[in-house]
Amino acid sequence: MREPTTPPPPPHRIHLPTGRTDRVDRLLAEALPAFTRRRLQQMLAAGLVRIDGHRARKGDLLHGERWIEVELATPAELELPPEAQPGVAVLFEDSSCVVFDKPAGRPGHALRSGERGTVANFIAARFPECVGAGDRPLEAGLVHRLDTDTSGVLLAARSRAAWQALRRQFGERRVDKRYLAIVHGALGEAGEIRRPIVSAARSKVLVVAEGAGARRAQQAVTRYRPRSRTAQATLLDIVIPTGVRHQIRAHLAAIGHPVVGDTLYGSSFDWAGRQLLHAARIDFDHPVTAERISAESPLPDDFLAAMGRLGLELRRVR
């Protein structure tokens, strides 16, 4: 029988009063004088500091009345336990970076110290140098994210210099990210969705009209092209030059074609136990040689099975 676990203590709360503006790291240093600056930075990197349910970054500038929640952790807890099993397939590997084939249902990075079962835990065991490459040890050098139920390519850096170079490419939109998705309904023409996105809750985002929620809105662009369709569903090729949380899922739902299985954004049926979204390919400049690198992930079995049930094929619609 599994031993009962002691629930974690409630988070420490820090209040930012109305009329004050300050950075998160300064507020933490002021409110927690017993903690060293390095320890506070580790806690930020580990995702232990949250604002409105979202992970805080040390440079975040806060305005007006806000509450910051901090999970107080000992130095020993600010660690990523290495886990060699279950393994994750490697699609590309050299001395600077690694591309993994993330399975659906497995988180990419850890959110809290001591968390297990993520791709980052596997990276810590197989490529331990990755843990120190990025700003957040719990992300184990990963330079972008995939939702837990999204499968496919996931890129990590093996050195600080490589991580910075790859992150710069993402910021400059020089990384090509290509996805396959099965959506509700028949989409016969290629199109582009260019609408901003705002966080609505801890687990969801909202697509808004241009200019609405301007202070918090993130610009997002999703381009899609049908590959196969029936009256019930369409298989889409998707390219996103931007990388906003839940971007593809929210954008497609906003035009009336939610991803099949994505019940959070309006899917009416679920044949695979997850949203049928797959990160099929990534193209980036090698952080040292500048050679263009391409890595592809084959479609997983659950995705192929759903295509078969829906009568979809891997072909281009004319």
What is the per-residue pLDDT for 196?
93
Q: Could you report the per-residue pLDDT of 228-277, keeping only the tens digit for each?
A: 999 999 999 999 999 899 999 999 999 999 999 999 999 988 888 899 99
Please answer whether residues 126 and 99 qualify as being in contact, where contact means their C-beta atoms are separated by less than 8 angstroms. no
Mean pLDDT of 65-92: 83
- Give percent above pLDDT 70 in the chain: 92
Distance CA 234, CA 232 (A): 7
Q: What is the structure's pLDDT at 10? A: 76
Residue 86 has pLDDT above 90, yes or no: yes
CA-to-CA dists, residue 11 to 6, 24, 161, angstroms: 15, 16, 34
Closest CA to 141 of 153, 159, 126: 159
Question: What class does CATH assign to 12-77?
Answer: alpha beta
Architecture of domain 176-310: 2-Layer Sandwich (3.30)
Q: What would be the CATH architecture of the domain defined by 89-171?
A: 2-Layer Sandwich (3.30)
Give the range among 4-8, 83-87, 167-171 with minimum mean pLDDT: 4-8
Tens of pLDDT, residues 162-191: 999 999 999 999 999 999 999 999 998 999
Q: Do domains 12-77 and 176-310 have the same CATH topology?
A: no
Query: Which of 30-39, 83-92, 114-123, 241-250 is least confident?
Result: 30-39
N- to C-terminal Cα separation, the chain: 58
In the chain, the percentage of residues whose pLDDT exceeds 90 is 61
Q: The whole model's pTM is what? A: 0.76
Q: Which residues pair with 197 in a beta bridge?
A: 207, 218
Least confidently predicted of 101-105, 216-220, 269-273, 314-318? 314-318
Active-site entry in 147, 149, 262, 302:
147
Residue 42's pLDDT band (cuts 50, 70, 90): confident
Residues sharing a CB contact under 8 Å with residue 54, sequence separation 6 or more, in sequence order: 199, 202
Select from 266, 59, 236, 45 the least CA-distant residue to 140.
45
Query: Measured at the alpha carbon of residue 254, what is the angle toward residues 221 and 62, in degrees to the nearest 5?
Result: 65
> Active site includes 176?
no
Residue found by looking up tokens 């797959």 in the block: 278
Nearest CA to 254 out of 195, 182, 187 is that of: 195
Q: What is the 3 state secondary structure string of the chain? A: CCCCCCCCCCCEEEEECCCCEEEHHHHHHHHCCCCCHHHHHHHHHCCCEEECCEECCCCCEEECCEEEEECCCCHHHCCCCCCCCCCCEEEEECCCEEEEEECCCCCCCCCCCCCCCCHHHHHHHHCHHHHHCCCCHHHCCECCCCCCCCEEEEEEECCHHHHHHHHHHHHCCCCEEEEEEEEECCCCCCEEEECCEEEEECCEEEECCCCCCCCCCECCEEEEEEEEECCCEEEEEEECCCCCCCHHHHHHHHCCCCECCCHHHCCCCCCCCCCCEEEEEEEEECCCCCCEEEEECCCCHHHHHHHHHHCCCCCCCC
Averaged pLDDT of the chain: 88
Can you tell me the mean pLDDT for 66-93?
Answer: 84
Task: Find the range with the poorest average confidence among 142-151, 205-214, 270-279.
Answer: 205-214
> What residue spans define the domains of the chain?
12-77, 89-171, 176-310
